[in-house]
Structure 1
């Protein structure tokens, strides 16, 4: 039977040097030189911590609702605190996962640092736990799979969060347990060759090896296990009248899985907890937790509408980045301008295709998706073409924003408002044209070969003046080939 998804010729490589330029989502997450209050209206307080508070804010120009983490400089007096803040920014710029908070930009003034993030309307998972006391296994499995997906992804890029807890998990919308976002990378770190040292984290959720101040990334898995325990029975596994009593119970891995709260919990759920709340040397990884039969069996019946799947896969197949400017502008619009609602359809399909939950799509996962509408050979051929066109960082996977860049409907991306805003980003001197220097500045590529950017400009420059005007920019973003004009 023939393939229901259209087949296209393999995209031609138009540029010789420019194709080597890798544009990552973090490229557009930058310090904004304006005053924060000139760009945003500050609203109500959403939360607070030792070094910062989080407030609701609205972008004055495009009216987008966001959240801002405000860090008081006077509280970062020590050198280690300042270094940790710098590390937080570096880590946030690296992240590319559907269940990790999206960051837009940073500000700095005399008194504060500001980190502008997406606003999640549903509030903290902690509040849902207080409200519900405990969750059924289907709900708990959905929540914990999202958490393990974040952790597995972070560990694959050697990032350890170190503060997994319900207060750091937000619901995207009210009562929506199926779209949760991990936040607060304030004490996250990047693991080098050695283990991490120093006791840090929230007492009830820290692993025994953290108490002993020498640990690795599996401390996050332990914290997720504590969260899973609470979701299922409604109370924490380690309790005591003092912090030291709690620490002793944690170090001894002393908890119960029977009696009150556990009467109706499945043996599979208990088995996963037993594989997590154990000493570090015996603890499973987040990657293996995602493959555990409890999570797999609870989620196997969840499938999206096949018509939506087909539409998104067709968009993915037809993606053809003719030019690095086109690719960069699309990525900017998706990561910085589009609302969660606008990317939700493609985001949900990405999560369904990501069977092992690691936050990226392998060749085999994509083939399995296309096999719903095509023969094995057609699916393999299509996926090979897609990998060549979409995997722009050449890591052998389709990362989350690589997928969105290709799968979101081009009509949504190419609205006049988005095109004008994206053009203004590149046109730094506001003279109505994008120069080579402006292109290099936006893409943070000052050291790159000049010839590379000349090629990018030339591919789009219809009138041959060596710069790009709005009409030329719009043409390339609307997927109209210059040669077709």
Structure 2
């Protein structure tokens, strides 16, 4: 049976819609079982979750996934209180979203829970695909997925709570966006879409309701709902007709399409932002489909007369029937309308940020792993402190920082020596040639984002995979994937040598660590910061050689001091100097 989600946007004479469209059936499930190839066959949810995790790990790394994917005995209720009596925050293709509050973290969260009992195998595959894709998303303009809980009869996704409401609601309030605001909003959406496409993911349901604002006073927009999303290989065609009819591309109706379908949907959204009405709003469904297939959209001359030629050109190049002629996401980001309104962020990258990268690089491997896990627990205000710097370094607008770009910036603007650069790059060894958003956040936590008890508790929880209240060697191995490193960490942190790491031992390490190591790291950081600040202005080569000599003197001095104090039978600890 053909099921369609009907969009009930009705064009009014003088304004946009007056009420929210009613929910209708989805365009999805149009075909029989042969379309199930569209939804990747996944053992997760239907079985043990291994395939979901492994595919996500391939894209964002083991550590980013394993610390957020929880299996029994861990349960959602162990970490969150779900307000089941409260009204749903929203409804996605695969289920309702409820409000929750963290037990170890202050704040609100959005929980999308799926009941698995009595659900068909095909539906379980869809849910697993959504979880897999969502786990691999890591971008400032994509809603954060904090945790996934896989239980006997339930799969739960814990996301950040976007309290600013839908883009739909803002449009209804404003009627028409100013062109500057429309352009700013469009660029944020484009950055999210370009990131998805660079990851080989197609959203397939872009619409006003699937972009949310962080809070009521914020204009920062994020993409949600991956229920229809698909991992897609280039040079192949998708066939499943899905999404929302008013935003659907002509080729989606023809059941033969690529990632370009998202750009058509984005064109529909931008059209609405600029003139305040739907481009394809026929009197009935048949007429609407005809308008979409022919690319014939409704033009109200009095509305478009107020729109600049560049903005009009931008929309026209997205609402092109031929997907091969339609602008791609990278091309759209380079369009003059977008480039002319692009906000420069020349002061986002400073000496302190570079020093933070160096600090992170000099930290011990396990400390970096802890920081990377904590990065997934940061609140929106904490992330906001450094996200502009990340986006300024993301020169390709792909949602990652290319090592080659960072290398050029460090050389040209900060004159950081090759040895220091290599330390920084080695610290992001999981990234190949790219630094992910959460890795950058982790690096900034050393000095730009303050550590606090909630972050420490959350990091401990992510290592405690069995929810036992302790971190065991087996837990460390699951997260670190290295028996050697797990043994080394256990040896260093297990102060009372009872074969497990308590929370007190864990935070003692993160807050204090080895005194000798801390002295050495502090000395190196002080020297590095001084040289970075000086080289920013004159790039003096003699100072760099002097720095290396001074660094060696500090290392030798601290080593000898440690030997002397050790001979007294007293460790270097508790010193105030």
Query: Could you tell me how far apart the structure 2 residues matched to 1:368 and 1:54 are?
Result: 44
Q: Paired residue for 1:191, among 204, 222, 232?
A: 232
1:62 equivalent in alignment to 2:105: yes
Structure 1 pair 254/479, CA: closer, same or farther in 2 (3 Å)? Answer: farther
Query: What's the offset of the Cα at 1:195?
Result: 1.3
1:209 equivalent in alignment to 2:251: yes
* TM norm structure 1: 0.83
Q: Which residue in 2 is equivalent to 1:477?
A: 510
Give CA deviations for 1:289-325 in whole Å, capped at 9, x if unaligned: 112111111114x43755x844333322321264442
Query: What's the offset of the Cα at 1:59?
Result: 1.9
| Alignment check: 8 A CA contact 1:153 1:359 kept | yes
Query: What's the offset of the Cα at 1:131?
Result: 0.7
| Alignment check: 8 A CA contact 2:176 2:274 kept | yes
Query: Could you tell me how far apart the structure 1 residues matched to 2:249 and 2:93 are?
Result: 21
Q: How many residues align?
A: 453
Query: Could you tell me how far apart the structure 1 residues matched to 2:139 and 2:108 are?
Result: 21
Q: How does 1:149-168 map to 2 (within 5 A)?
A: 149-168=191-210
Structure 1 pair 44/386, CA: closer, same or farther in 2 (3 Å)? Answer: farther
- Which of structures 1 and 2 has the larger relative contact order (alpha carbons within 8 angstroms, sep 6+)? 1
| Alignment check: 8 A CA contact 1:346 1:408 kept | no
Query: What's the offset of the Cα at 1:464?
Result: 7.2
Query: Could you tell me how far apart the structure 2 residues matched to 1:192 and 1:461 are?
Result: 47
* 1:434 partner SS: coil
Structure 1 pair 349/172, CA: closer, same or farther in 2 (3 Å)? Answer: same
| Alignment check: 8 A CA contact 2:372 2:442 kept | yes
Larger radius of gyration: 2
Q: Which residue in 2 is equivalent to 1:397?
A: 434
Q: Which residue in 2 is equivalent to 1:25?
A: 64
Query: Could you tell me how far apart the structure 2 residues matched to 1:464 and 1:327 are?
Result: 23
* 1:54 partner SS: strand
Query: What's the offset of the Cα at 1:209?
Result: 0.6
Query: What's the offset of the Cα at 1:119?
Result: 0.2
Q: Paired residue for 2:165, among 123, 126, 138?
A: 123
Query: Could you tell me how far apart the structure 2 residues matched to 1:115 and 1:471 are?
Result: 29
Query: What's the offset of the Cα at 1:69?
Result: 1.5
Query: Could you tell me how far apart the structure 2 residues matched to 1:112 and 1:483 are?
Result: 48
Structure 1 pair 420/86, CA: closer, same or farther in 2 (3 Å)? Answer: closer
Q: Which residue in 2 is equivalent to 1:426?
A: 463
Q: How does 1:9-24 map to 2 (within 5 A)?
A: 23-24=62-63
| Alignment check: 8 A CA contact 1:233 1:261 kept | yes
Give CA deviations for 1:334-371 in whole Å, capped at 9, x if unaligned: 203x2111221112221233244221112464367658
Structure 1 pair 383/205, CA: closer, same or farther in 2 (3 Å)? Answer: farther
Q: CA RMSD in A?
A: 3.1
Query: What's the offset of the Cα at 1:414?
Result: 3.3
Q: Paired residue for 1:414, among 451, 466, 476?
A: 451
Query: Could you tell me how far apart the structure 2 residues matched to 1:434 and 1:346 are?
Result: 31
Structure 1 pair 364/267, CA: closer, same or farther in 2 (3 Å)? Answer: farther
Q: Structure 1: where are the runs of 5+ without partners?
A: 1-20
Structure 1 pair 281/418, CA: closer, same or farther in 2 (3 Å)? Answer: closer
Query: What's the offset of the Cα at 1:472?
Result: 5.0
1:438 equivalent in alignment to 2:475: yes
Q: Which residue in 2 is equivalent to 1:297?
A: 340
| Alignment check: 8 A CA contact 2:360 2:424 kept | no
Q: Paired residue for 2:484, among 415, 431, 451?
A: 451
1:385 equivalent in alignment to 2:428: no
Query: What's the offset of the Cα at 1:175?
Result: 4.2
Query: What's the offset of the Cα at 1:181?
Result: 1.1
Query: Could you tell me how far apart the structure 2 residues matched to 1:154 and 1:459 are?
Result: 40
| Alignment check: 8 A CA contact 2:375 2:439 kept | no
Q: Which moved more, 1:263-272 or 1:346-355?
A: 346-355
